Copies of this chain bind each other. A is one copy, B any other.
Amino acid sequence: MKLYNYENGWIISERQFSIENNPAVEGAFTQGSGYLHIRGSLEEHIIDAPQNVSYLRMPANVSAEKFRTNKCKWGAYIPGIYCKHPTLNNELINLPFVIGLSPVVNGERFDLTKSKVSNYSRRLNLFNAVLTRELIWHTESGSDVKLVFERFVSSSNENCVFQLLEIESADDIEIEIVAGIDTDVRTNGFDHFTNVSFDQLGTNTMSAVLETDGNHSIEIVSELIAENVKWEYLLGKRKAQLTGKIKLNGGNNIRFEKRTCFTSSIDLQKRNSMQTLQEIKEKSFDQLIDEHSAIWKNRWERSDVVIEGDDEAQAAMRFSIYHLLRAHAGNDSRVAIDAKGYAGDAYWGRFFWDTEMYLLPFFSLTNPVKAKTLTDYRLQSLKGAIKNAGNYGYPGAKFAWESDAEGNECCPNWHYADHEIHITADVIYGLMYFSKIISGENYLLENASETIIESIKYLVERIDWSKGLNNPQILGVMGPDEYKPFVNNNFYTNYLIKFVMKNIYSNKKLLAKISDEKLVEKIKCAAEYLPVRKNEDGVWMQCDDFENFEEPQFENFWKDRTKPFASQVSQERIYRVKALKQADVLMAMFLFPQNFSINEIEKAYNYYQKYTTHDSSLSYGIHSIAASILGKKEDAWKYWELCSRIDIEGGTSEGIHIANAGAVWMVFVFGFAGLNSPIFSDHLRFNPLLPNQLQSVSFPLVWHGHDVFVELNHSAMIVVNKSSVELKVQVNGDIKLISKNSSQKYLIKE
């Protein structure tokens, strides 16, 4: 369903307010600085949409869970502030609602579900991350009042959100503005605040100080600015308000500003909210926007993918990149990017394998400094991973399927937490991938070696050696396809573990750090002998006995294909039929395409595709890339469209599918432009396959520290070497050396 209009390639806009779509728009229009993220909720809020409802949310599969629908969902998050939920373990908590700015005109309160409104638009400018809402409010008293709301979470003052409300009227009106800090909010139905106090710090400034059940303290200061307005301070139940009144003469306008600053006890940089606001006191709203926008401009220069020929594709691409850039927590390696991109309470602010498989490629190839924060996040959470392994009775480090900032396993569902062990191999793969792209053997050997070796200790112990060193196997795992909760010798898991074992065994310097000879022997044997198997038709099998699962009978049990399979059958059936949630064998082939023949990939693609439900948002992108590898242009486009629409067509109520946002970028770079996996190649290699629907695509890359720009159309690929060294670049087998600061055109036959 199309929710948005797209303007000039950068602006995503809602032209008609819809209460049904509002939660999705709030998620999609989330703004953030890395330090602070705030959902795109309405400043004036909506009546009868309480945000303080307590309920007991139980562990469940989020993708099949029915959420408590509401007209809106407030959300404000500081990455790293986790508290313990009684049933769900540690969760990122939802902070107070600070953007409240509610106009009352001639005694009438503005409310989008009640008020008569025209010329409405709510638009997110992706280029500078500013959210604007504009409308004319036809009041019951007969005035036409123009309202313009504008706000941004500042990238230059990353702990601040700046807001503007401009009101214009042809008639004389009486305006009252209610600006609040509302701390009466819940996270997944739970109240994490143990103590809340408010203060008025000056005539137009108020503060809230909160303590959490995780022993954090958070300070929030809001300053209200408007000419000739006198503010009245009012204390409510867990909220504070400043109310300002003014008469506006017809034909004039008035601007209200609200500047809010957050500080917390976990801040890397110790700041004082009041002082921060003091420091920028002299800066106008426009100045603040300019400073903020300059940073975003720079980000886009490093990352933008320009698509010609399809406005929707362009919008989806930039929407995804926007959220990737926004959600990255700057230089704070104590956190990564959570599964919902800090845009909702779902998935509890936790870090999954998304980090390595769907986020790391984008950052590694566009901004390695930011990529390093993600890999460093794993290194700094090693302690948690060692604790996890110990909890299961293993030596070494077991990375959590759902990790909090400290690496603790937080997944309350045992089957994922216990059995989805590929995550630990994924983490090692990520470290190797990043090291390779930055040509960073030092990173591997110095920074990452302890983490890698501890992880290997766990994995080696997790392998079943009871049939001998040359007959290892891995029993009872859940692979990437989470619809098979408990299988033996999952293809992806075994393949990835073989890969990392091989890499370690062949890295003499790394190996020298392992003194235990038995461990070394097992690393070698795992690399060599862990089984992956083909069936009689030569199809690589997802696990032992995959063919023995029951046929899924989709025609009987999955009648409404617009909804997930999982919403129409019981988990019990899913777990015993040949239904895949997402790419599994294909996922391994995507990671290591050069290890498989086209014939092998095609066999796997054809075999598994018919069983794959794509109930996971991590599936379409990989299928599009696999189709590109196979030269299946129409399939590649079909899966691209499905992939690109997940969020921009309304899947954002509970936050952003951030892994899919990474996949959106990957489809273009690894799929259509056909960049070969960087982990196997010292030079750039492309096998492009531009869809017929597009005219051209172009994007920047950073390759081993060197800036490159790539342009692709139906007749040629042009690679611009913007670096100061010569680069070797291969397109469809044609290898050229490109001098510094020059470009090379490769002709393409389609």
Taking CB atoms, residues of chain B closer than 8 Å to A391 are: 570
Taking CB atoms, residues of chain B closer than 8 Å to A415 are: 415
A248 within 8 A of B: no
A706 within 8 A of B: no
Asked whether A418 and B572 contact (CB < 8 A) given A87-B58, A475-B548, A550-B466, the answer is yes
Contact in complex: A572, B56 (CB < 8 Å): no
Copies of chain A in the complex: 2
Contact in complex: B393, A569 (CB < 8 Å): yes
Closest chain B residue, CB of each to CB of A548: B488
Taking CB atoms, residues of chain B closer than 8 Å to A576 are: 464, 475-476
Contact in complex: A486, B575 (CB < 8 Å): yes
Bound form: Cα–Cα A419–B569 in Å: 15
Contact in complex: B414, A571 (CB < 8 Å): yes
Kindly supply a per-residue 1/0 record for chain A positions 547-562, scoring 1 wherever the CB is within 8 Å of any chain B CB and 0 otherwise.
Answer: 0111101000100000
Bound form: Cα–Cα A464–B569 in Å: 16
Residues facing B in A525-563 (CB within 8 A) are 544-545, 548-551, 553, 557
- Selected contact of A56 from candidates B86, B473, B548, CB within 8 Å: B86
Q: How far is the CB of A410 from chain B (nearest CB, A)?
A: 14
User: What are 24 residue pairs bridging A and B, where the CB atoms are less than 8 Å apart in the complex?
Assistant: A56-B87, A58-B87, A87-B87, A391-B570, A392-B573, A393-B557, A393-B569, A393-B573, A414-B571, A414-B572, A418-B571, A418-B575, A419-B572, A464-B576, A466-B553, A475-B548, A475-B549, A475-B550, A475-B576, A476-B575, A476-B576, A488-B548, A544-B548, A545-B545
4 closest cross-chain pairs (CB), A and B: A476-B576, A418-B572, A464-B550, A475-B576
Taking CB atoms, residues of chain B closer than 8 Å to A56 are: 86-87
Q: How many residues of A contact B (CB 8 A)?
A: 34
Bound form: Cα–Cα A86–B575 in Å: 27
Residues facing B in A51-83 (CB within 8 A) are 56, 58
Bound form: Cα–Cα A86–B87 in Å: 11
Taking CB atoms, residues of chain B closer than 8 Å to A466 are: 550-551, 553
Contact in complex: B475, A570 (CB < 8 Å): no
Kindly supply a per-residue 1/0 record for chain A positions 402-421, scoring 1 wherever the CB is within 8 Å of any chain B CB and 0 otherwise.
Answer: 00000000000011001100
Contact in complex: A485, B486 (CB < 8 Å): yes
Bound form: Cα–Cα A58–B544 in Å: 34
Taking CB atoms, residues of chain B closer than 8 Å to A573 are: 392-393
Q: How far is the CB of A14 from chain B (nearest CB, A)?
A: 38
Taking CB atoms, residues of chain B closer than 8 Å to A548 are: 473, 475, 488, 544
Q: How far is the CB of A531 from chain B (nearest CB, A)?
A: 11
